[in-house]
Amino acid sequence: MSELKDMSKDELISKREEYLKTYNNYKEMGLKLDMSRGKPGAKQLDISNELLNGPRDFHTSGNYDVRNYGVLEGLSETREIFSQIFNLPSKNIIIGGNSALNLIYDTFARVYLFGALGSTPWCKLPKVKILCPVPGYDRHFSICEEFGAEMISVPLKGDGPDMDMVEKLAAEDEAVKGIICVPLYSNPTGEIYSDDVIDRLVKMKTAAEDFRIFWDNAYAIHHIYKENTIANIFEYAEKYNTQDRIYMFFSTSKVTFPGSGVAIIAASDNNIKEIMKRMSIQTIGYDKVTQLSFAKFFKNAENVKNHMKKHAAILKPKFDMVNEILDANFEDNKMCQWLKPDGGYFVTVYTKEGCAREIVRLAKEAGVVLTEAGATHPYHLNPKDDCFRLAPTYPYLEELKTAMEVISACIKLATVNKALETM
Amino acid sequence: MSELKDMSKDELISKREEYLKTYNNYKEMGLKLDMSRGKPGAKQLDISNELLNGPRDFHTSGNYDVRNYGVLEGLSETREIFSQIFNLPSKNIIIGGNSALNLIYDTFARVYLFGALGSTPWCKLPKVKILCPVPGYDRHFSICEEFGAEMISVPLKGDGPDMDMVEKLAAEDEAVKGIICVPLYSNPTGEIYSDDVIDRLVKMKTAAEDFRIFWDNAYAIHHIYKENTIANIFEYAEKYNTQDRIYMFFSTSKVTFPGSGVAIIAASDNNIKEIMKRMSIQTIGYDKVTQLSFAKFFKNAENVKNHMKKHAAILKPKFDMVNEILDANFEDNKMCQWLKPDGGYFVTVYTKEGCAREIVRLAKEAGVVLTEAGATHPYHLNPKDDCFRLAPTYPYLEELKTAMEVISACIKLATVNKALETM
């Protein structure tokens, strides 16, 4: 097929009729499919069902009764598993509740209300700016927006954010207080931060003494095609004595059950001390029954990693399907391009400029709900309106196939409409 | 026995020798007993063990799969049980995590960071004052202190706080932003707020338009000797259209397992709307597996209340024991007085002025850990140093008996020492 840009108006109109017909056929099917959020599918949940039987025994290996109050930092045997996964000392890991997002929010709340290691509380400052690699995770942006932080978009370049830009902004403006990012299988592009990027993040001069890296390592072990790793940011920071700059987050929401697992924050000795002090005012402790279930179910990091291979086996056909349908529809034209991540939960589709929102709207009209197109950018504003996120994990394979056909039809229709409109 | 105040110096010295001997005998036993916190004992935990088997089925009655993301406000069947317990519409109840204390903290964080229903964020104000009925709960005071609120002690009068004082402070000073209290079986006095007190709390004029009552209804169903109830504060508030003034908290930490149950916040339609909006930024949702376990285990409020009778049956002998030993030691003198609550988790002991800290110190030296004496007051400052809190629920009955004998010996020794010192 030739490209739309080479077609005459009549050819385009005839294409539009063809595409519209296909689209309308899908629309008439009355579909109801949701590809908006990164949710595991039912088969993925099933592999952890044994957890629901709970810990038949409620004592830790140290014979501690988890049914009562105490152990604010989390059970040592549970922390030990994360220590193995992340190659960090247990003492630098706190288990906090069921949600990494909640821990990120709470960490924002703490620096806003109380400052970081003695710095001025961010809520007392006239302006706080946070660097946001884009395309990025909408819930990160929502937290920044909620706290009134000004978000500065920094483009991702294939191996992490544009570090020249990050370094310049961090060095020159003391209102720039941090960066929030997903360093492995970045949501939604699947980006993998390079060693060089990670080195520069901990090495760079920052005008703010309390600059913080909100390191949302959400997909640290969520491989699909290939088991990539990133550098241990804490190890790198040791070289420059900037360990206090880092807050790392992770949860088991996509290891066991979303919202019913455990979440961790990892940080330097100084930060852990401060977090524990403030956390001891916030709560008597998090749910240790859940922590013990996790520890008894997995026992060690090796078993967690093997468990993740089962997830990968379920997810691979879904990501294959996305590629297959997009290939079949767009291989020989330039209506869109898409990324092929090695892991994580998303596929990012780049469209012709000004088409993404319309594609998402058309898909919704046809019963396929996608994440809002602007959601990949701060304030929901992607100036080029040229990308959207696919979350292919939740639907069954057959549903996903249909959804991808619908989306392909939407891409075609929106693109030809745009071509006609701008003729 | 005659009173110490009627004794001569020689008589007092001889008393001191007698008391010191008894005390030293206990000290030599090398005891290790903890009566510092309101923790359930092991037998209480056992009655909920069935919960640890988890929900064999992970679908709600509406066939919703609780293993995945979603349902921020909490499962409807779980909320329904609390709706029955508190006689409040389900729509006014949100389930949030495992800890009421954490919900109180988060509610403070929200009003400090974002204000309440459009008011100025409290962190932007030069001064925020919170009314604190005393004796009160140390963890409440810690939260106020953490947020930098100035705490104003208001004496409890037997049926709640001194309302003349509360009304005056709230009406005259717009920096007075709220009151934090436990209205039934108040921690630690066991106070029960009267209908009149509750009516005045919701009726009173407040200089601050965003005055808030942090209504920590922690012991709402935690009866021991008698099943007392308090007025439904939301119902009372309706008369004056002040429902937005109230945030109510509760958790199942002392119904099932401390820290592994569910916590709720109940509030007006306006407040619920605001909390949900902000909570949707904070988290994708709380642990629904735990929520479903709770709902399946109890099914309805009636069963929860019957469960609480089992707790009462375990706790009654412990509270009896406290009374018995204190009676045996102090019935015929005036060295101390103590309250006899109908429910809750604590016994408050009033001592001679200036003795409470010394009693707690002596007990600690003899291996019996009590809550620090000042903890019942803001900033750990009880100007009279005349009261401390007993938490008799955690030790086994025999341990408790020994602990109470030790504490009695400490009271005697400290009191005679004080009498000699002030002679």
What contacts A313, CB < 8 A, 6 or more positions away?
none
**How far is residue B373 from each of residues A204, B137, B219, B379, measured CA to CA in Å?**
50, 12, 22, 12
pLDDT at residue A131 greater than cutoff 90: yes
| CB pair distance less than 8 Å for A53 and B58 | no
B322 or A331, which is more confident: B322
Best CA proximity match to B246, nearest among B213, B218, B277, B283:
B213
| CB pair distance less than 8 Å for A139 and B284 | yes
Give the mean model confidence (pLDDT) for residues A17-34: 96
**Mean pLDDT (chain A, rounded):** 96
Whole-angstrom distance, CA of residue A138 vs CA of residue B284: 12
DSSP H or E segment with residue B330: helix B301-330
* B265 Cα to chain A: minimum distance (Å): 15
Q: Give me the pLDDT at residue A334, please.
A: 87
Whole-angstrom distance, CA of residue A242 vs CA of residue A46: 42
The reply to whether B99 touches chain A by the CB within 8 Å rule is yes
Give the mean model confidence (pLDDT) for residues A210-217: 98
Q: Give me the pLDDT at residue B113, please.
A: 98
CA-only gyration radius of chain A, Å: 23
| CB pair distance less than 8 Å for A99 and B283 | yes
The reply to whether B143 touches chain A by the CB within 8 Å rule is yes
Chain A neighbors of B51, CB-CB under 8 A: 54
The reply to whether A345 touches chain B by the CB within 8 Å rule is no
pLDDT band, residue A52 (cuts 50/70/90): confident
Q: What percent of chain A has pLDDT over 90?
A: 95
pLDDT at residue A359 greater than cutoff 90: yes
Q: Give me the pLDDT at residue B261, please.
A: 96
pLDDT tens digits, B223-270 = 999 999 999 999 999 999 999 999 999 999 999 999 999 999 999 999
Whole-angstrom distance, CA of residue A203 vs CA of residue A237: 7
Helix axes B269-282, B100-114, angle to 10 degrees: 90
pLDDT at residue A111 greater than cutoff 70: yes
Q: Is A117 left (phi over 0), alpha (psi -120 to 50) or beta?
A: left
CA-only gyration radius of chain B, Å: 23
pLDDT band, residue A6 (cuts 50/70/90): confident
Q: Give me the pLDDT at residue B420, please.
A: 95
Contact by Cβ (8 Å): A242, A211: no
Q: Indicate the burial class of B420 (C-beta count within 10 angstroms; 0-12, 13-18, 19 or more).
A: middle
Lowest mean pLDDT across A128-132, B137-141, B418-422? B418-422
| CB pair distance less than 8 Å for B58 and A52 | yes
Give the mean model confidence (pLDDT) for residues A313-319: 98
| Phi and psi angles of residue B336, each rounded to the nearest 5 degrees, phi first | -155, 165
**How far is residue B252 from each of residues B50, B58, B215, B255, B341, measured CA to CA in Å?**
15, 21, 16, 5, 20
The full DSSP string for B118-141 is TPPPGGGSS--EEEEEES--HHHH
The angle formed by the CA atoms of residues B173, B174 and B176, to the nearest 5 degrees, is: 75
| CB pair distance less than 8 Å for A45 and B67 | yes
Q: What percent of chain B has pLDDT over 90?
A: 95
Chain A neighbors of B286, CB-CB under 8 A: 98-99, 259
Q: Nearest CB to B53: which of A54, A102, A114?
A: A54
| CB pair distance less than 8 Å for A69 and B258 | yes
As given in the structure block, the two tokens for residue A225 are 């095609």
Q: Is A158 left (phi over 0), alpha (psi -120 to 50) or beta?
A: left
Best CA proximity match to A311, nearest among A82, A50, A47:
A47
Amino acid at B161: P
The reply to whether B1 touches chain A by the CB within 8 Å rule is no
The reply to whether A289 touches chain B by the CB within 8 Å rule is yes
Total beta-carbon pairs less than 8 A apart between chain A and chain B:
152
B112 or B4, which is more confident: B112
pLDDT at residue B1 greater than cutoff 70: no
* Complex ipTM > 0.85: yes
pLDDT at residue B5 greater than cutoff 90: no
Q: Give me the pLDDT at residue B6, please.
A: 85
Beta strands, E only, B88-211: 93-95, 129-134, 150-155, 176-181
pLDDT tens digits, B73-105 = 999 999 999 999 999 999 999 999 999 999 999
| Phi and psi angles of residue B268, each rounded to the nearest 5 degrees, phi first | -65, 165
Whole-angstrom distance, CA of residue B148 vs CA of residue B406: 38
Kindly list the strands in the beta sheet with B336-338, ordered across the sheet, starting from the edge strand earlier in the chain: B336-338, B347-351, B387-390
Q: Nearest CB to A284: which of B55, B69, B101?
A: B101
Q: Give me the pLDDT at residue A332, please.
A: 85
Give the mean model confidence (pLDDT) for residues A112-118: 98
The reply to whether A65 touches chain B by the CB within 8 Å rule is yes
Q: Nearest CB to A257: which of B67, B253, B278?
A: B67
**How far is residue A143 from each of residues A101, B62, B185, B280, measured CA to CA in Å?**
9, 32, 38, 10
pLDDT band, residue A378 (cuts 50/70/90): very high
Q: Nearest CB to A288: which of B54, B67, B260?
A: B260
pLDDT at residue B121 greater than cutoff 90: yes
pLDDT tens digits, B171-204 = 999 999 999 999 999 999 999 999 999 999 999 9
The reply to whether A188 touches chain B by the CB within 8 Å rule is no
Q: Give me the pLDDT at residue A5, please.
A: 81
Best of B71, B141, B257 to substitute, by most chain A Cβ atoms within 10 angstroms, is B257
Selected residues 146-185 of chain B with any CB under 8 Å from a CB in chain A: 146-147
The reply to whether B412 touches chain A by the CB within 8 Å rule is no
pLDDT tens digits, B289-314 = 999 999 999 999 999 999 999 999 99
* A74 Cα to chain B: minimum distance (Å): 12
Chain A neighbors of B108, CB-CB under 8 A: none
Q: Give me the pLDDT at residue A4, please.
A: 84
Give the mean model confidence (pLDDT) for residues B210-221: 98
Best CA proximity match to B252, nearest among B286, B290, B285, B213:
B290
3-state secondary structure chain A: CCCHHHCCHHHHHHHHHHHHHHHHHHHHCCCCEEECCCCCCHHHHHCCHHHHHCCCCCECCCCCECCCCCCCCCCHHHHHHHHHHHCCCHHHEEECCCCHHHHHHHHHHHHHHHCCCCCCCHHHCCCCEEEEEECCCHHHHHHHHHCCCEEEEEEECCCCECHHHHHHHHHHCCCEEEEEECCECCCCCCCECCHHHHHHHHHCCCCCCCCEEEEECCCCCCECCCCCCCCCHHHHHHHHCCHHHEEEEEECCCCCCCCCCCEEEEECHHHHHHHHHHHHHHCCCCCHHHHHHHHHHHCCHHHHHHHHHHHHHHHHHHHHHHHHHHHHHHCCCCCEEECCCCECCCEEEEECCCCHHHHHHHHHHCCEEECCHHHHCHHHCCCCCCEEEECCCCCCHHHHHHHHHHHHHHHHHHHHHHHHHCC
pLDDT tens digits, A163-180 = 999 999 999 999 999 999
Q: Nearest CB to A53: which of B53, B65, B139?
A: B53
pLDDT band, residue A2 (cuts 50/70/90): low
Kindly list the strands in the beta sheet with B246-251, ordered across the sheet, starting from the edge strand earlier in the chain: B93-95, B263-267, B246-251, B212-216, B176-181, B129-134, B150-155
What contacts A324, CB < 8 A, 6 or more positions away?
none
pLDDT at residue B2 greater than cutoff 70: no
The reply to whether A72 touches chain B by the CB within 8 Å rule is no
The reply to whether A43 touches chain B by the CB within 8 Å rule is no
pLDDT band, residue B57 (cuts 50/70/90): confident
The reply to whether A30 touches chain B by the CB within 8 Å rule is no
As given in the structure block, the two tokens for residue A399 are 């549903």
Beta-sheet pairing, B263-267 with B93-95: antiparallel
The reply to whether A37 touches chain B by the CB within 8 Å rule is yes
pLDDT at residue B49 greater than cutoff 60: yes
* A258 Cα to chain B: minimum distance (Å): 5
Best of B59, B276, B282 to substitute, by most chain A Cβ atoms within 10 angstroms, is B282
Selected residues 245-274 of chain A with any CB under 8 Å from a CB in chain B: 253, 257-260
* A199 Cα to chain B: minimum distance (Å): 30
Chain B neighbors of A114, CB-CB under 8 A: 146
pLDDT at residue A347 greater than cutoff 60: yes
The full DSSP string for B227-274 is ------HHHHHHHHT-GGGEEEEEESTTTS-TTSS-EEEEE-HHHHHH
Nearest CA in chain B to A114: B147
- pTM (global) more than 0.90: yes
As given in the structure block, the two tokens for residue A227 are 């088991």
